[in-house]
Chain A
Amino acid sequence: AQKITQTQPGMFVQEKEAVTLDCTYDTSDPSYGLFWYKQPSSGEMIFLIYQGSYDQQNATEGRYSLNFQKARKSANLVISASQLGDSAMYFCAMREVWGKLIFGQGTELSVKP
């Protein structure tokens, strides 16, 4: 069965420092996609970054990068130069079937000034 695991319920980081949010997944399908979303207190889901299972390079989007280790089935999100506005819930998700996402439990990130 497909599964996404985020083992860090909460994380703290000092402003301007980098932080890594962990995500591991389990699937038997060779073709899948991995996503990270940010959810502020307003409740909206903000797409951050995507990694395809066949992508050779780690995905990057501005201050966000995805540390994709396929053999270990991990897809950790790295946020560089943290900002106060980065404080939010972060969800890792996996897509196998078109459009259907399975989400991890989420990590609440707090950025300290």
Chain B
Amino acid sequence: SAVISQKPSRDICQRGTSLTIQCQVDSQVTMMFWYRQQPGQSLTLIATANQGSEATYESGFVIDKFPISRPNLTFSTLTVSNMSPEDSSIYLCSVPPGTSGYNEQFFGPGTRLTVL
């Protein structure tokens, strides 16, 4: 099973600033996924990060607000730009199953963001 780490685990930020969240996987994966969970809500997919190409964003999410980098097969960053209190959420990265585990899909521990 993949081991996924995220940094920071939590942060409190001022509105108008930006925060970059890092996701590190202990094995090479072709795709990485970024999810958002607003308070009291379910998880929503923000975008799919592919190595060597631009990220694919879901409806309602745009690159200017959530730029994503994918410099190699084990690492990705998600930036939350020009933050407002509505961006207060848990942000989670996820990777699809590898060859050893088709039946499992893992998430990182999440980044809990509070915007004041």
Contact = CB atoms under 8 A, between A and B. Distances in A.
A50 B45 contact: no
B48 A99 contact: yes
A43 B112 contact: yes
Interface of B: 31, 33, 35, 37, 41-45, 48, 90, 92, 94-96, 103-107, 109-110, 112
A35 interface: yes
A98 B96 contact: yes
6 contacts: A47-B104, A47-B106, A98-B31, A98-B96, A99-B96, A101-B45
A44 B90 CA distance: 9
Contacts of B44: 103
Contact of B95 (A35, A91, A99, A105): A99
Interface of A: 33, 35, 37, 42-45, 47, 50, 52, 91, 93, 95, 98-106
A100 B107 CA distance: 12
Contact of A45 (B31, B48, B96, B110): B110
A99 B109 contact: no
Contacts of A33: 103
A37 B43 CA distance: 11
Contacts of A100: 33, 45, 48
Nearest to A92: B42
A50 B31 contact: no
Given A50-B103, A100-B33, A43 B90 contact: yes
Contact of A35 (B42, B105, B110): B105
B31 A99 contact: yes
Contacts of B31: 98-99
Contacts of A93: 43
A69 B33 CA distance: 29
Nearest to B91: A43
Contact of A106 (B35, B42, B94, B112): B42
A103 B103 contact: no
